[in-house]
Copies of this chain bind each other. A is one copy, B any other.
Amino acid sequence: MDTTTPLYRQLAGHYRRAIDAGTLAAGDRMPSVRALMALHGVSLSTALQACRHLESDGLLEARPRSGYFVAAPRRAALAALSEPAAALPDPAQYVGIHQRISGLLARGQHEHVHTNLGGAYCAPALYPTEALRGAAARALRRHPQLFGEGVEPDGYLPLRAAIARQALRNRVQLAPEEIVITNGCTEALNLALRAVAGTGDVIAVESPTYYGLLQILESLGMRALEIPCSPQTGISLEALELAAQHYDNIRAVAVVPNLQNPLGCIMPDAHKARLVQWCEARGIALIEDDCFSATADSDAPPAAAKAWDGSGNVIHCASLHKVLAPGMRLGWIAAGKWQARVEMLKFGLSRPNEMLSQMAAADFLASGAHDRHLRRLRTRLRAQREWFAQAIAAGFPAGTRLGAPRGGMHLWVELPAQVSSEAVFDQALQAGIRVMPGVMFSNAGRFDHCLRINCGTPRSAQIERALGTLAAIVQRLAA
B133 near A349 with CB under 8 A, answer no
Q: By the criterion CB–CB under 8 Å, are B129 and A147 in contact?
A: yes
Kindly list chain B residues whose C-beta atoms are within 8 Å of the C-beta of A348: 98, 186, 190, 212, 215-216, 218-219
Task: Assess whether A327 is in contact with B355, with CB atoms less than 8 Å apart.
Answer: yes
Nearest Cβ on chain B to A200's Cβ, whole angstroms: 9
A301 to B153, CA, bound (A): 32
Given A183-B350, A349-B186, A350-B187; A125-B148 close (CB under 8 Å): yes
Q: Is the Cβ of B215 less than 8 Å from the Cβ of A102?
A: no
Assess whether A129 is in contact with B150, with CB atoms less than 8 Å apart: no
The residues of B that contact A345 with a CB separation of less than 8 Å are: 219
A276 on interface, CB distance cutoff 8 Å: no
Chain B residues positioned under 8 Å from A352 (CB to CB): 329
A149 touches B327 (CB 8 A): yes
A327 contacts across to B, CB distance below 8 A? 145-151, 354-356
Report Cα–Cα, A214/B183, bound state, in Å: 22
In angstroms, Cα B129 to Cα A150, docked, is 12
A369 to chain B, nearest CB (A): 14
Set of chain B residues within 8 Å of A436, measured between Cβ atoms: none
Chain A 214-226: CB-based contact to B (< 8 A → 1; otherwise 0):
0110110100000
A144 touches B148 (CB 8 A): no
Q: Does A347 contact B (CB under 8 A)?
A: yes
Residues of B within 8 A of A38 (CB): none
Known: A148-B325, A221-B198, A327-B148. A183 touches B133 (CB 8 A): no
Interfacial residues of chain A within 416-470, with CB under 8 A of chain B in the complex: none
Q: Give every chain B residue within 8 A of A123 (Cβ-Cβ).
A: 148
Q: Shortest beta-carbon distance, A31 to chain B, in Å? A: 32
The 6 A-B residue pairs whose C-beta atoms are closest, nearest first, are A124-B148, A219-B348, A129-B148, A183-B350, A127-B148, A147-B327
Asked if B102 and A129 make an inter-chain contact with CB atoms under 8 angstroms apart, the answer reads no
Given A148-B129, A328-B147, A350 and B347 contact (CB-CB distance below 8 Å): no
**A46 to B148 CA separation, bound complex (whole angstroms):** 40
**Complex interface: chain B residues within 8 A of A186 (CB):** 348-351
Contact with B along A190-222 (1 / 0, CB 8 A): 100010001100000000000010011011010
With most chain B CB atoms within 10 A of its CB, the pick from A126, A127, A150, A190 is A150
Q: Are A328 and B344 in contact, CB atoms less than 8 angstroms apart?
A: no
User: Can you report 29 A-B residue pairs in the complex whose CB atoms are below 8 A from each other?
Assistant: A102-B344, A121-B150, A123-B148, A124-B145, A126-B148, A129-B144, A129-B148, A130-B144, A133-B140, A133-B147, A137-B137, A145-B327, A147-B327, A148-B327, A151-B327, A151-B329, A182-B350, A186-B348, A198-B199, A199-B199, A215-B344, A216-B348, A218-B348, A327-B355, A328-B354, A329-B351, A354-B354, A354-B357, A356-B356
